[in-house]
Amino acid sequence: MHTQTKAEKMNTVQTRQILASKPKKLRINIIGVGKVATTMAVLWHRSNQIHIQSVWNRSISASRQLQHLLPHIEIISDLNDMSPAEIIVFGLRDQILPIMAEKVSRMQWMTPDTILIHFSGALASSVLMPDKKKALTGSMHPVFAFSDIDTAISTLPGHLCAIEAAEAVQPVLQILAQSAGLETFIVSSEQKARYHAALSASANFLVTLNHYARNMLESISIPNNLADRLVNQLMLQNLNQLQQFSPAEALTGPISRGDMHTISKHWHSLTTQEQNLYQALAIQTLKLTTLSQAEQTQIKKIINYSQDEIANE
């Protein structure tokens, strides 16, 4: 049986105090209703556990769009007119967060128990309130690409969500995530930048790679719709393989087989710009193979990987 340490007991007491001080339906004010905040607001409202109260946004159009979905919300143009709430959610672009948080810190009704939350995957929640005595802070990062609000509202539930906060605040974030249908895991504030770099690489660079491959096909007069299908089908099929197998097991193709002739043909068919990305990815791909050092060196020479870099490895 797990016996609670003194620190854990303190945290449990603090958590109980935070939750006990909140009314049955948590009231949320939102500052910045972009794609993520609009989606979360609608899902929170639908959960019937949370009351979306007031919203402020730089341009009125986004606030109106949310009001169209949730007619009861109050649109605020001056932050000083915002009614008290237990939680303030910042749905702003990352670099604006400290600036707006500083303005919010001057609101009269703020207490040391008010919880400030943002959605950034890369920034620690402390950007919202460096002085821990003035308010509690937390961040929740839904692991999802919010390209379009309607699609996000219907497909976000079931996805993962990183939460980062002091232990006493984590249960509140868990309630918020779960009421939007999200499955939580914890990330520490120190590791957020690297955590987010990894996720951005998997999401954003997949899209970049898709574009890179399509462009090559279109340059040899393969029609757009066929290029789309070819690249999307292969990417999806490989992603499906990755659900079942490790990257090393899922890898196929000339690099995995050590097929020098084909790699050389690829290399000479590419423009100098295309070669830059092909080279960087091929070097990483070699690490997934079981090719001997001699075979790997031969491939590196074909793709003009500098002799100095080969010698330094």
Ligand X SMILES: NC(=O)c1ccc[n+]([C@@H]2O[C@H](COP(=O)([O-])OP(=O)(O)OC[C@H]3O[C@@H](n4cnc5c(N)ncnc54)[C@H](OP(=O)(O)O)[C@@H]3O)[C@@H](O)[C@H]2O)c1
Q: Is 34 in the site for ligand X (CB under 6 A)?
A: yes
Rg (CA), the chain: 25
By C-beta, is 54 or 57 nearer to ligand X?
A: 57
Q: Which one-letter amino acid corresponds to residue 128?
A: L
The residue at minimum Cβ distance from ligand X is 34
Q: Quick one: which of 55, 92, 156, 168 contacts ligand X (CB under 6 A)? A: 92
Minimum CB separation of residue 164 from ligand X in Å reads 12
Q: How far apart are CA 132 and CA 110, in angstroms?
A: 13
Measured between alpha carbons, how far is 27 from 56 in angstroms, rounded to an integer?
Answer: 15
Whether 55 and 79 have beta carbons less than 8 Å apart is answered as no
Residues 133-192 that bind ligand X (CB under 6 A): 141-142, 144-146
Give me 98's structure tokens: 């400290």
Q: Where are the alpha helices (DSSP H) in 160-251?
A: 170-179, 192-219, 224-244, 247-250
Q: 19 vs 60, which CB is nearer to ligand X?
A: 60
Q: Is 103 in the site for ligand X (CB under 6 A)?
A: no
| Both structure tokens of 279 | 């080279």
- Continuous segment of H or E residues that includes residue 180: none
CA 285 to chain CA mean position, Å: 25
In whole angstroms, how close is the CB of 123 to ligand X at the nearest point? Answer: 7
Give whichever of 77 and 312 is closer to ligand X, judged by the CB atom. Answer: 77
Pairing mode, strands 115-118 and 50-56:
unpaired
Interface with ligand X: number of residues (CB under 6 A): 24
Closest approach of ligand X to the CB of residue 156, in Å: 10
Nearer to ligand X, 94 or 218 (CB): 94
**In terms of CB distance, is 34 or 84 closer to ligand X?**
34
CB 57 to ligand X: min, Å: 5
Distance CA 87, CA 94 (A): 19
In DSSP terms, which residues pair with 164 in a beta bridge? 139
Tokens encoding 39: 């989606």
CB closer to ligand X, 33 vs 263 = 33
Cross-strand partners of 161: 142, 184
Place of tokens 């001080």: 21
Q: Which stretch binds ligand X (CB under 6 A): 30-38, 80-88, 170-178, 187-195?
A: 30-38
Residue 32 in the binding site for ligand X (CB under 6 A): yes
State which of residues 53, 54, 120, 125 lies at the interface with ligand X (CB under 6 A): 120
Question: Which residues of the chain form contacts with ligand X (CB under 6 A)?
Answer: 32-37, 57-59, 62, 91-94, 96, 118-121, 141-142, 144-146
